[in-house]
Chain A
Amino acid sequence: MLMRGLRIILPIALFLGLIRFWEWSVVYLEIPPFILPPPSAILAVFATDGASLLGSAWTTLGTTLAAFTLATVSGTALAALFASSRIAEAALSPYAVILQVTPIIAIAPLIIVWVGLDNAWLTVLILAWIAAFFPVLASATAGLKAVDPNLRDLFRLYRADFRQTFIRLMVPSSLPYLLAGIKTAGGLALVGAVVAEFAAASGNTDGLAWRILEAGNRLQIAKMFAALLLLALMGVVLYAILSFVEWLLLHRWHGDRRHA
């Protein structure tokens, strides 16, 4: 119980201490605010530019969630296709890997040309989707292959058809793997959305990346920090929500699978 309390109190205490030290050192060492603004100045930005920052955060969050949803659905669907057809897997999996290993920032100009500058939001969505897609595909494929061979035999013995085997055996078996991949995909969707905003959409969308660039050009460093703070917050909350969903779905039966 004491340990548990410390696990919450210690990081918060450390955080407050560091903030205090930051504030103090900026003033004491006379660091100019266009190099490192004090925390109080960053907080003040939310009073002056809060509305525009939150609006941008809303845009980036929307893209992230849409890309994440697309990646989860398409990654799972393709993994299911791979599991049901070796031919499809042999034919398609190299392309999935190529899509994964090619840096999205390098694909960005091509996507812009294809989609058109008028649809910058679509470019960002596509790029963020590509970034988040692969971990879902890889983990779902691994999960679908990790089915206990004895259980598979049991289903064959009772003459289960593919649909029954898929829904009752393969999906639940692969769930722990899939959820781990989805958790990674959540973070990558955010990274992908911001990178894509930088690469493809400056001036054409109003995501947080654009606010960061804009503030940088005007040497509004405090505003840059404020935007970064919002991004970090979004990433943490997304990860926390996905971790909670994972816990909700798995904690009862996934405690120790070795003896199951």
Chain B
Amino acid sequence: MSSGLRLDRLAKTFPNGTAALGELSADIEAGAFVSLLGPSGCGKSTVLRLIAGLEEPTRGRVGWPQTRGSLGFIFQEPTLMAWATATNNIALPLELAGMAKSEARERARVALEKVGLAGFADALPRELSGGMRMRVSIARALVADPDVLLMDEPFAALDEFTRGKLNDDLLRLWAERRFTGIFVTHSVFEAVYLSQRILILSGRPGRLVADIENPAPYPREPGYRTSAAFNATARDILDALEDVSTC
């Protein structure tokens, strides 16, 4: 299951006067993997928070086909409950929705296996490495089978190797579930590797300066990172970013 959505002249100015987002309009197809790319502090995270309903837009609206799709959210930090085991952290969205504990935890264990942490069901966050915590966070976001997965620079704090591995895991999970993925990043290469489409934001307030398609087929293997097709898309993006002022 997945759901498309429409950003309709979405704008956000915070009460302190900071204009985080100008007018952003974009149609995002059901099942697409889209990246929002731009320098830090360009309102990319604000877009995700508006879609998630964690902030109200100053103007414009987020349009859904019928009702708001179910959402998963991956934050920049793993954002786990330090007092709960990996399993219980992952079971949280299900239990909050009223699912029986035993069933929720069974599904959490399956989700944990999907992210390669089968042996860590009872581990507490502090007993896991940074990359493993992020995997738990991914499993939690996906356990309720969301229509839309919002990701806010989830791998920015990880080292290059872990990050590459998690990129591949994320694409594999996307291929299985076909959620609509919206991925915020300030890494050009991560955006190219993951996405079908890259929206480039600039400014403060954030504005859409380019909308670039990445036609490379999936599944994308690590070899794609050094291919000519990868370079061509990266070049397009870097050209578009030339005109973008840093925030």
A residues in contact (CB < 8 Å) with B? 148, 150-151, 153-160, 164, 168-169, 172, 175, 252-257, 259-260
Contacts and interface: CB of A to CB of B under 8 A. Distances in A.
Contacts, number: 60
Contacts of B124: 252-253
Interface stretch (B15-23, B69-77, B104-112): B69-77
A252 B52 CA distance: 33
Contacts of B43: none
Contact of A256 (B52, B53, B81, B126): B126
Interface core residue of A150, A156, A159, A175 (most chain B CB under 10 Å)? A150
The secondary structure that dominates the B interface is loop
Contacts of B93: 158
Interface in B69-91: 71, 73, 75, 77-84
B100 interface: no
29 contacts: A148-B79, A151-B81, A153-B49, A153-B52, A153-B73, A154-B75, A154-B92, A156-B54, A157-B52, A158-B92, A158-B96, A158-B97, A160-B96, A172-B81, A172-B83, A172-B84, A175-B83, A252-B124, A253-B82, A253-B124, A253-B126, A257-B126, A259-B125, A260-B78, A260-B81, A260-B82, A260-B125, A260-B126, A260-B133
Contacts of B126: 253, 255-257, 259-260
A169 B130 CA distance: 22
A169 B88 CA distance: 13
Contacts of A151: 79, 81
Nearest to B157: A259
Nearest to A175: B83
Interface of B: 49, 52-54, 71, 73, 75, 77-84, 92-93, 96-97, 124-126, 130, 133
A164 to B, nearest CB: 6
A157 B71 contact: yes
A256 B54 CA distance: 28
Contacts of A253: 82-83, 124-126
B178 to A, nearest CB: 21
B47 to A, nearest CB: 15
Given A172-B81, A257-B82, A260-B80, A157 B92 contact: no
